[in-house]
Amino acid sequence: MTITDFQTATLFRFATAGSVDDGKSTLVGRLLHDSKSILADQLEAVTRTSVERGFGGSASGEGQGQQIDLALLTDGLRAEREQGITIDVAYRYFATEKRSFILADCPGHVQYTKNTVTGASTADAVVVLIDARKGVLEQTRRHLAVARLLRVPHIVAAVNKIDLVGFSEAVFRDVEEQLLRAAAELGLPDVRVVPVSALEGDNVVELSARTPWYTGPALLEVLETLPAVDELENEFEAFRFPVQSVIRPQGALAPGLDPEPFRDYRGYAGQLASGVVRVGDSVTVLGSAAGTQITTSVAGIDFAGTSLPQASAPQSVVLRLSDDIDISRGDLLVEAGTFAEASQDLHASLCWLSPKPLREGAKVLIKHGSRTVQGLVRSIKGWLDLASFSEGPAADLGLNDIGTVQIRLASALPVEDYERHRRTGAFLVIDPVDGNTLAAGIASGVPDGEGEPRGG
Amino acid sequence: MNTAYLTEDRLPTGTRTGLSSLDALESEAIHIIREVVAEFERPALLFSGGKDSVLMLHLATKAFWPGKVPFPVLHVDTGHNFPEVLEFRDRTVERLGLRLVVGSVQEFIDRGDLSERADGTRNPLQTVPLLDAISRHRFDAVFGGGRRDEDKARAKERILSLRDEFGQWDPRNQRPELWNLYNGRHTVGQHVRAFPISNWTELDVWRYIEREGIELPGLYYAHEREVFRRDGMWRAVGEVSQPRDGEEVLTRTVRYRTVGDMSCTGAVESVAATAHDVVIEVAASTLTERGATRADDRISEAAMEDRKKDGYF
């Protein structure tokens, strides 16, 4: 384990996506192993299993001719081994001096869309594995399309098994060309391409002498230097704050506090979904009561006994406001002048994640920010072909389908366009009967508010 | 970068310094704690006096300041706890003005509802009293300090983990967890286990304990203790943990990396006397925390997975 400088180290979340047999488990194992995140007892267990299973590859993990199957480092549950399947996303952790990483390891085969959507929803980057011998496959295009739909800021394409094509620059350039073309078609903003051998370790943590024609950084360095979502200054990122709860401690004050200053305390607890807020800023309260919009100003930002001059996403804080307004859980505070209006009509793409298909006329629950309201699916307007990113007609949506729908809400929600506001454009579709999560919702076609948001 | 492809209309306008990783993890955990409190009627927090549960309680005090922590704490007492940890538990509960609910493994054994295992460990026996306390007090959400870096079963468990009326975890039937939107809907009889520090590592926990000056039971730090060697671990000599023939009792300077049932938790030799010392030690450690100190997790490769399916933490 590396000593991370916790004063400056930031958190970076990424998801991996790949097709069957492209060496994803080996790559994840290699990243964990070469960044020294694997401890002796884990390595010993893996080495033992490698020997038992007769692993004879050339991945000399430890020198001295000791050969281990790095893929075993990410070996899953017994339930998975017994059935020979991988059950959804596994989260893994490693750190370097510059960053702590949260890796959402998404299995490539069964239910790839469901898993990739889940992993990509919180990701700062998606690492897409491509077999150098096979190039961009339909599966690759699907992964890229999901990353595009969920607006993951960075794609890192690891062109793997470069050793099996003799470290050929021509092969790499060809795959790179295919990738950049697919990325351009999809409108992906930022794609980095790195030639790697997960098995041999080339360009994963250390740059390889065997690819002298590659002048970019190794995969880990790419991940260490890409800006995370909350480090990107986005021109659309105005302040957004879903109110989680109202803190009125009268009668239930934390022990040890002098009650006098808190006699009339009223604060709003929440996590900034985007942007920055400063004491004195004008904010508009989008109330859950139909159509209410009241503008006031921020009187204070509290966090566990400390008064802060400002807070930025994704900080959790308590805001106090200048005016005594009736605000409750579910309300959204926004930078004044940056929001149009809440609507009862929701136009969105849904990534359908349930085996129970969606049909027109379905009654669902919509969870947006800290509010949940009823919704009626009025129409299914189309089905998205991920391979071509074109839309065709659809009567229903099944597991792993992505489609566009029109939903009528029982009360208006301040949903924004996901393209511009990742947090406030996202919602869950929930089954009102059994409470299960049915779909990931991505709002589209919402007119953006007037005014000039300030940014960071 | 020569391989970057940037569309004109989506160029980032610049970058700024993000939160430190500890601040980001703290903020995420507080968000989850507040969501659960807002959406559930009767939450409770599992509190053993162990470092992860102490950390959780600290996060809860920060989440609701200047209000007090708005839920009781629940301890499943194996009857084999370290006395100093129980003393710490009671003192902490008192200091924060909380209500403590105790589920007792010993009572179940005395009533004949549980039987002692051949190996003497009581950690796996906690499941029954835990589920009993949950149903008796009608808790609909129970906070736990489980972390995904601890074990491969935990690596796949959701932050909000739905459990059926038997408390069982079904890894094949988990709700997808998207963005920071947590779905806590459940039907009668079901409850949810909430793991707000899922994304923390052992090192994060210690860094945070150091930064925040969080008090822990003294046995997390180096102290002299009478110990004997068993299964490659140092076991404390105590009422429920006696050396067998051939196991020599020695006095060693040790500390605990995890604090569980005395009969299955081992100490490590250490001179780390402060949280800062522990951070340095953990960063340099070559063993995982459970591998080094938990006999119950050595029973089989899938020990945690099996226990979780039966309703364990």
For A383, phi then psi, to 5°, come to -125, 130
A448 lies in a domain? Answer: no
A393 lies in a domain? Answer: yes
CATH code: domain of residue A161: 3.40.50.300
In angstroms, the CA A228 to CA A152 distance is 10
CATH code: domain of residue A326: 2.40.30.10
Name the least confident of A16-20, A392-396, B46-50, B251-255: A16-20
CATH code: domain of residue B135: 3.40.50.620
Same domain, B121 and B229: no
pLDDT band at A451 (very low <50, low <70, confident <90, very high): very low
In B, residues 159-178, which contact A (CB 8 Å cutoff)? Answer: 171-172, 174-178
B259 lies in a domain? Answer: yes
Residues of chain B in contact with residue A114, where contact means CB-CB under 8 angstroms, are 176
pLDDT band at A454 (very low <50, low <70, confident <90, very high): very low
Residues of chain A in contact with residue B20, where contact means CB-CB under 8 angstroms, are 6-10
pLDDT over 90 percentage in chain B? 50
Same domain, A328 and A359: no
3-state helix, strand, coil split of chain A in percent (to 5) is 20, 35, 45
The sign of the torsion formed by the CA atoms of A369, A373, A379, A383 equals positive
Of A280, A315, A335, which residue constitutes the final position of a domain?
A: A335
Between chains, do B3 and A216 touch, taking CB under 8 Å as contact? yes
Angle at B114 between CA B108 and CA B115, to 5 degrees: 125
B185 lies in a domain? Answer: yes
B115 touches chain A (CB under 8 A): no
CA atoms within 13 A on the CB side of A173: 8
Interface test with A, best of B2, B5, B276 (most A CBs within 10 A): B5
The amino acid occupying position B276 is H
Same domain, A325 and A214: no
Same domain, B35 and B90: yes
Cα B135 to the center of its chain, rounded Å: 21
Number of domains in chain B: 2
Q: What is the mean pLDDT of chain A?
A: 86
In angstroms, the CA A441 to CA B193 distance is 25
Between chains, do A3 and B283 touch, taking CB under 8 Å as contact? yes
The amino acid occupying position A295 is T
Residues 6+ positions from B194 with CB-CB distance below 8 Å: B32, B33, B36, B43, B141, B142, B143, B144, B159, B160, B161
In angstroms, the CA A273 to CA A234 distance is 13
Same domain, B78 and B168: yes
Same domain, A288 and A199: no
Cis status of the peptide bond prior to B43, with omega within 30 of 0: no
Inter-residue contact A300 to A319 (CB < 8 Å): yes
Same domain, B42 and B153: yes
Cα B121 to the center of its chain, rounded Å: 18
Using DSSP, state whether A446 is helix, strand or coil.
coil
A193 lies in a domain? Answer: yes
The answer, yes or no, to whether residue B9 has pLDDT greater than 50, is no
The per-residue pLDDT for range B94-122, each reduced to its tens digit, is 999 999 999 888 888 888 888 888 777 77
Same domain, A227 and A255: no
The answer, yes or no, to whether residue A87 has pLDDT greater than 50, is yes
Residues of the domain holding A277:
240-335
Same domain, A150 and A244: no
Inter-residue contact A406 to A379 (CB < 8 Å): yes
Same domain, B173 and B226: no
Same domain, A434 and A308: no
The amino acid occupying position B294 is R
Determine which helix (DSSP H) or strand (DSSP E) holds B36, and give its type and residue range.
helix B21-39
- B246: phi > 0 → left, psi -120 to 50 → alpha, else beta; which? left
**Nearest CB partner across the interface for B20, out of A8, A253, A269:** A8
Q: What is the average pLDDT across A60-80?
A: 60
Q: Minimal CA–CA distance to A116: which of A84, A82, A141? A: A141
Between chains, do A247 and B287 touch, taking CB under 8 Å as contact? no
**Nearest CB partner across the interface for B287, out of A40, A78, A265:** A40
Of A285, A304, A335, which residue constitutes the final position of a domain?
A: A335
B182 lies in a domain? Answer: yes
Interface test with A, best of B13, B178, B288, B309 (most A CBs within 10 A): B178
Inter-residue contact A156 to A203 (CB < 8 Å): no
Same domain, B126 and B275: no
pLDDT over 70 percentage in chain A? 87
Determine which helix (DSSP H) or strand (DSSP E) holds B291, and give its type and residue range.
helix B289-293
A4 lies in a domain? Answer: no
Minimal C-alpha gap between A294 and chain B (Å): 24
Same domain, A351 and A214: no
A249 lies in a domain? Answer: yes
Same domain, A117 and A211: yes
In angstroms, the CA A446 to CA A293 distance is 18
Same domain, A401 and A438: yes
B78 lies in a domain? Answer: yes
The sign of the torsion formed by the CA atoms of B213, B216, B218, B220 equals negative
Helix residue spans in B96-218 (DSSP H)? 105-111, 127-136, 202-212
Residues of the domain holding B224:
218-298
In angstroms, the CA A235 to CA A453 distance is 8
DSSP string, B225-248: EEEEEETTEEEE-BTTB---TT--
Residues of chain A in contact with residue B12, where contact means CB-CB under 8 angstroms, are 153, 189, 227, 232-234
Same domain, B267 and B190: no
The answer, yes or no, to whether residue A243 has pLDDT greater than 70, is yes
The per-residue pLDDT for range A329-360, each reduced to its tens digit, is 999 999 998 887 789 999 999 999 999 999 99
The per-residue pLDDT for range A263-295, each reduced to its tens digit, is 999 999 999 999 999 999 999 999 876 567 889
Between chains, do A314 and B3 touch, taking CB under 8 Å as contact? no
pLDDT band at A453 (very low <50, low <70, confident <90, very high): very low
Same domain, B45 and B188: yes
Residue in B closest to A111 by C-alpha: B176
Q: How many CB pairs under 8 A join A and B?
A: 263
Between chains, do A257 and B66 touch, taking CB under 8 Å as contact? yes
Same domain, A24 and A153: yes
- pLDDT attached to residue A270: 98
A288 lies in a domain? Answer: yes
**Nearest CB partner across the interface for B286, out of A39, A189, A216:** A39
B222 lies in a domain? Answer: yes
Between chains, do A184 and B155 touch, taking CB under 8 Å as contact? no
Same domain, B46 and B192: yes
Residues of chain B in contact with residue A436, where contact means CB-CB under 8 angstroms, are 175, 183, 185
B142 lies in a domain? Answer: yes
For A215, phi then psi, to 5°, come to -105, -5
Cis status of the peptide bond prior to A357, with omega within 30 of 0: no
The amino acid occupying position A323 is D
ipTM of the complex as predicted: 0.91
B282 touches chain A (CB under 8 A): yes
The answer, yes or no, to whether residue B68 has pLDDT greater than 90, is yes
Q: Minimal CA–CA distance to A93: which of B15, B202, B310? A: B202
Same domain, A156 and A67: yes
Same domain, A171 and A210: yes
pLDDT band at A235 (very low <50, low <70, confident <90, very high): low
Number of domains in chain A: 3
B235 lies in a domain? Answer: yes
Of A310, A335, A360, which residue constitutes the final position of a domain?
A: A335
**Nearest CB partner across the interface for A316, out of B3, B31, B68:** B31
The answer, yes or no, to whether residue A4 has pLDDT greater than 60, is no
Minimal C-alpha gap between A388 and chain B (Å): 19
Q: Provide the whole-model pTM.
A: 0.91
Between chains, do A231 and B30 touch, taking CB under 8 Å as contact? no
A152 lies in a domain? Answer: yes
Same domain, B158 and B232: no
